[in-house]
Structure 1
Amino acid sequence: MQFWCGTPFMKTTESLAVARMVDDAGYDGMICADHLIYPRDLRSPYPSPTGKPGWQPETAWPDTWVMIGAMAAVTTRLRFSNAVYVAPARPLIEVAKVVATAASLSDGRVSLGVGIGWMREEYELLGQEFGNRGKRLDEMIPALRALWQGGWVSWSGRYYEVPEMMIEPHPPQPVPILCGGESDVALRRAAALCDGWIGTAYTFDDAKAYVSKLDALRREFGRADRPFEIMLALIDPPSPDLYKRAEDIGITAVMCAPWMTDPAVAAGGDVERYRGPIERFAESVVAHCR
């Protein structure tokens, strides 16, 4: 079982020191999230019962790939990914370039977690269509793989047309692409096109149901025998037994933030306050799931 820590809701200036602590403590990776802005007049409904995001407008969402490049520079073994990067809100070439650069600088320690997002305002600000974002992501996934091969590359499709060119640096090895989203369309995209799926936070039973859906879809697409990552968070009380049971059903990685419920971390202060909960969780849980 892999253990990945998240950066959302962390003070941006603390993230590099925390990444070093997580690396030293033996975790497997760090996850970044993606939002560009919070509009004064937010009209797009958030996918929740209230229709509103669960964070304040002033919440910081640092750029995913700047963060990953910086964290990679101060760590030695951690991997990095997204939960999730709203790739179709950006031009194809831009996504190919930033991910390839991060992969090169980190010596291949990155994967790309993609999703279609929910905020129309972000798409409009970036000049990208919102209504066909899912179809464009379906094409963007194989297009990225083609553009990352190195040498003279090109792509011709319905939504993207890339003439023959060189785009360097290219990744030192194939970049795994994981898909987020819980809709039937998103699950099918993950099973048919991707190297894995990224969920959110679930009870064990709900997580098991998603794994079963993905297993069935992978069989439908003739991809059941290929390696497939499933990364999510479990809201059951953490224990080695919980994560061993998760691994047994096919979950390959869990997202965690051991400091989230620690009063000392919530109180603020020096970044060293993160070290205790990071190391305690590593000793009491991570070390027993290797």
Structure 2
Amino acid sequence: MRIGVVLPQTELGADVGAVRAYGQGVEDLGFRHVMVYDHVVGADPAVHQGWRGPYDVDSTFHEPMVLFGYLAALTSLELVTSIIILPQRQTVLAAKQAAEIDLLTGGRFRMGVGLGWNQVEYEALGEDFTTRGRRIEEQVGLMRRLWTERSLTFEGAFDRVTGAGLAPLPVRRPIPVWFGAQSPAAYRRAGRLADGWFPQMSPGPELDKAKAIVQDAAASAGRDPATLGMEGRVHWTGDEEELDALARRWREAGATHIAVNTMQAGHRTVDDHLTALERAAEILQPQKA
């Protein structure tokens, strides 16, 4: 089981030095990958009355692809979007950016994609929130062709490419695409299309049901369910026994990866986050692969 971290970008804020220290610090601690969330814009609650989203206009989010270009020069970590909200982005441009990150990292990029939940963000980016499920399926198929073919012609419901291709192509052809999933429709989509998936729950009966849907969908699509990766998330609360027990439960559930999240644990500085992760690394060391 590969163990990584979740970049606490809403707490590190716009401090570039803190981002650099964090990336280099977690690599020094022996973590294998860094996971980054994605939001392009946040909604202003003063304008959107009754706003209940977990993030708003004051929540700090770095642009993942640009950030990864920076981290690629500083670390040898695997870089993971979890998730990038693909249907609100131009497909060919997203494929180009992903190919560049994969090239800069020497093949250490994993592209987690998902639908998102913020209609305000879709509107600001000029995309249709209501078609996002159908669009992501077309996008993933097109991106995989762009990553593996010198020139292609494609006409779908949402995108058209006529005799064009990317150069340079990525190191890994195609780049692994993982799906965020938190509904039966999303579980089926992950089983049919993904190289791996990110459950949005802890190990237990709910995960067992979700995993069964993913595996059944994979088998129905003629795929081997055993080849799909699964990444769980463990939240650091300061309780060392709880962290160890949850990581073990993820391993027993079949997780190929987990990521330690130190956000919302009361840490004020990058050093606070790294101190917590140093202890987490010691606890999780026996479970590394």
C-alpha separation in 2, matches of 1:61 and 1:202: 25
Q: Which residue of 2 aligns with 1:227?
A: 227
CA contact (8 A) 1:146 1:154 kept: no
Shift of 1:145: 0.2
Q: Gapped runs of 5+ residues in structure 1?
A: 46-50
Q: Which residue of 1 aligns with 2:275?
A: 276
C-alpha separation in 2, matches of 1:18 and 1:205: 35
Q: Which residue of 1 aligns with 2:189?
A: 189
C-alpha separation in 2, matches of 1:216 and 1:150: 30
C-alpha separation in 2, matches of 1:102 and 1:194: 19
Q: 1:248 aligns with which of 236, 252, 259?
A: 252
Residue 142 (1) aligns with residue 141 (2): yes
Look up the SS of the partner of 1:155 in the other structure. Answer: strand
Letter in 2 for 1:184: P
Q: Which residue of 1 aligns with 2:48?
A: 42
Letter in 1 for 2:242: P
C-alpha separation in 1, matches of 2:205 and 2:228: 20
CA contact (8 A) 2:184 2:213 kept: no
Look up the SS of the partner of 2:106 in the other structure. Answer: coil
C-alpha separation in 2, matches of 1:255 and 1:115: 18
TM-score when normalising by structure 2 = 0.87
Letter in 1 for 2:282: E
Shift of 1:86: 0.6
Letter in 2 for 1:137: I
Shift of 1:79: 0.7
C-alpha separation in 1, matches of 2:120 and 2:225: 40
Look up the SS of the partner of 2:93 in the other structure. Answer: helix
Shift of 1:126: 1.6
C-alpha separation in 2, matches of 1:211 and 1:101: 32
**How do 1:1-290 and structure 2 match up within 5 A?**
1-8=1-8, 9-12=10-13, 13=15, 14-40=18-44, 41-42=47-48, 52-76=52-76, 78-173=77-172, 174-225=174-225, 227-234=227-234, 237-239=242-244, 242-258=246-262, 261=265, 265-266=267-268, 268=269, 271-290=270-289
CA contact (8 A) 2:43 2:56 kept: no
Distance 1:119 1:15, change over 3 A: same
Q: How many residues align?
A: 277
C-alpha separation in 1, matches of 2:181 and 2:201: 12
Q: Which residue of 2 aligns with 1:48?
A: none
Distance 1:124 1:57, change over 3 A: closer
CA contact (8 A) 2:6 2:262 kept: no
Distance 1:56 1:171, change over 3 A: same
Look up the SS of the partner of 1:34 in the other structure. Answer: coil
CA contact (8 A) 1:204 1:246 kept: no
CA contact (8 A) 2:179 2:190 kept: yes
CA contact (8 A) 1:211 1:249 kept: no
Shift of 1:140: 0.5
Shift of 1:34: 0.9
Letter in 1 for 2:102: A
Q: Gapped runs of 5+ residues in structure 2?
A: 236-240
Shift of 1:153: 2.9
Letter in 2 for 1:247: R
CA contact (8 A) 1:3 1:253 kept: yes
Look up the SS of the partner of 1:285 in the other structure. Answer: helix
CA contact (8 A) 1:199 1:231 kept: yes
CA contact (8 A) 2:230 2:255 kept: yes
TM-score when normalising by structure 1 = 0.87
User: Post-superposition, which runs of at least 4 consecutive aligned residues in structure 1 deviate over 4 A?
Assistant: none
C-alpha separation in 2, matches of 1:159 and 1:55: 29
CA RMSD of aligned residues (A): 2.3
Identity of aligned residues (%): 24
C-alpha separation in 2, matches of 1:58 and 1:259: 16
